A and B are shown apart, each in its own frame.
Chain A
């Protein structure tokens, strides 16, 4: 299967309308709206605790929204978001006792039910300069190498929506460039990327500052602020 000729469906849309999320009795963000179509890149900005990770987990369906509407649709039909997205978070999801090759094979098998194509694995490892480490147990990896190993998943499993939480953490400039190239080619194939990052990545996209959706601090009375 030649990956280069494949394209994701062009009519996929992600829509958030007046999205509000409350966690532990505190409003993380309120009244957020955005629309993303195939091939667009949304870069989430905001101070620590502004809810970037929370928004990513909400999109993945792991955190429920408190209010508002969130839909992912393709051609007017609602899409099961869980089966069309891939996420990488602060934790890398690697098993330290296994080699990188086994980790990748397991990931591929569990996510798709298919066996891993070794050529695909080689290409993915080469992109992040990990080809020489494929048969090393992950427990001997540095944190940067672990993070790059986790980023390899986007090459292994082909899904339209990518959620990335701090994808540039621990990456040197070469690997940051490799990441940008990978993201760019995903966008060109009609993919959608939502990433939360403090570092600039060399990819054109829409910026969304979560500080703009922070709940208004009007006194300590939450009832009062809900009224206003």
Chain B
């Protein structure tokens, strides 16, 4: 029996894509993964504020939306430097780009896995920290919604910075310098939405603009990440 074109048989791109997503989520939660550290940082950094600014409920309630969003940004940045670098350092990135999903699939899968494993838990935990920060009851739903809409942009924009600095040893600081300014629109509209809800104003325009930022990040972020990654792997 002679079979030709053996390599093309039994290859499923969709299977490989979801396998890659599962692999990254699994590794993010495995020993030495980024997710537990990121979530730990988020919890601890937010709980420092009541100690720092004092326990007055009015003060905490006033700064709650801003603090939660800013710390979520910083927590996300902390997790980013392992997004591509861990695989780059141990050589598995070379293997991944030879998989059926290619560069584009690798970037999409890794960003999706990063969002699921690292930034989505921040959105889930934020309401609990909101209680500690005495966030106004009207703000909770919008806080969760704004984080759900805005966090994909954090992963996507962050992926560009992570891909640009993948070959730079200790490039974490450089990456935050690239990424944090790009997070400003997300931050403005995210906090704006929660503030609007707290002040009983319609938060919808803010959420719509936040969604627009995320949609633009999907288009530009994935493309830019692929380009940066190709450049870094030469």
Whether the pair A97, B98 counts as a contact (CB closer than 8 A) is: no
Contacts of B14 in A (CB 8 A): 113
Within 8 Å of chain B (Cβ to Cβ): is A120?
A: no
Within 8 Å of chain B (Cβ to Cβ): is A9?
A: yes
- Classify the interface of chain A: helix, strand, loop or mixed: loop
Looking at the assembled complex, report how far the CB atom of B188 sits from the nearest CB atom of chain A, in whole angstroms: 38
Whether the pair A91, B234 counts as a contact (CB closer than 8 A) is: no
Within 8 Å of chain B (Cβ to Cβ): is A206?
A: no
Q: Size range of the interface on A?
A: 35 or more
Using a CB-CB cutoff of 8 Å, which residues 78-124 of chain B contact chain A? 89-92, 94-100, 102
Whether the pair B94, A82 counts as a contact (CB closer than 8 A) is: no
Q: Mark B24-44, 1 if CB is under 8 A from A, else 0.
A: 000100111100000000000
Tell me the complex Cα distance, A16–B17, Å: 32
Within 8 Å of chain A (Cβ to Cβ): is B170?
A: no
Within 8 Å of chain B (Cβ to Cβ): is A127?
A: no
Contacts of B2 in A (CB 8 A): 7
Whether the pair B6, A111 counts as a contact (CB closer than 8 A) is: no
Contacts of A23 in B (CB 8 A): 234
Using a CB-CB cutoff of 8 Å, which residues 1-51 of chain B contact chain A? 1-8, 10-17, 19-20, 23, 27, 30-33
Whether the pair A114, B10 counts as a contact (CB closer than 8 A) is: yes
Within 8 Å of chain A (Cβ to Cβ): is B233?
A: yes
Given the known A-B contacts A110-B20, A111-B16, are A159 and B234 also in contact in the complex, defined by CB atoms under 8 Å? no
Counting chain A CB atoms within 10 Å of each CB, which of B14, B92, B95 scores highest?
B95
Which single residue of chain A is at the shortest CB-CB distance from B87? A93
What total count of A-B pairs have CB within 8 Å? 114
Residue in B1, B92, B98 whose CB lies within 8 Å of A85:
B98
Given the known A-B contacts A91-B91, A109-B16, are A9 and B234 also in contact in the complex, defined by CB atoms under 8 Å? no
Which single residue of chain A is at the shortest CB-CB distance from B89? A91
Within 8 Å of chain B (Cβ to Cβ): is A84?
A: yes
Whether the pair A64, B234 counts as a contact (CB closer than 8 A) is: yes
Contacts of A87 in B (CB 8 A): 94-95, 98
Within 8 Å of chain B (Cβ to Cβ): is A63?
A: yes
Whether the pair A93, B23 counts as a contact (CB closer than 8 A) is: no
Contacts of A109 in B (CB 8 A): 15-16, 19, 23
Which single residue of chain B is at the shortest CB-CB distance from A64? B234
Within 8 Å of chain B (Cβ to Cβ): is A6?
A: yes
Tell me the complex Cα distance, A91–B88, Å: 9
Residue in A7, A60, A93, A113 whose CB lies within 8 Å of B6:
A7
Within 8 Å of chain B (Cβ to Cβ): is A160?
A: yes
Looking at the assembled complex, report how far the CB atom of A192 sits from the nearest CB atom of chain B, in whole angstroms: 11
Whether the pair B11, A112 counts as a contact (CB closer than 8 A) is: yes
Tell me the complex Cα distance, A218–B12, Å: 52
Q: A110-B16, A111-B98 are in contact. List 10 more A-B contacts (CB 8 A).
A: A10-B4, A92-B90, A95-B90, A96-B90, A97-B31, A111-B99, A112-B12, A113-B19, A114-B12, A159-B7
User: 12 pairs across A/B with beta carbons < 8 Å?
Assistant: A6-B3, A62-B233, A82-B97, A84-B8, A90-B91, A91-B91, A93-B92, A97-B31, A109-B19, A110-B23, A113-B14, A158-B7
Residues in B lying within 8 Å of A, measured CB to CB: 1-8, 10-17, 19-20, 23, 27, 30-33, 89-92, 94-100, 102, 233-234
Residues in A lying within 8 Å of B, measured CB to CB: 5-10, 23, 60, 62-64, 74, 82-87, 89-98, 106-107, 109-114, 153, 158-160
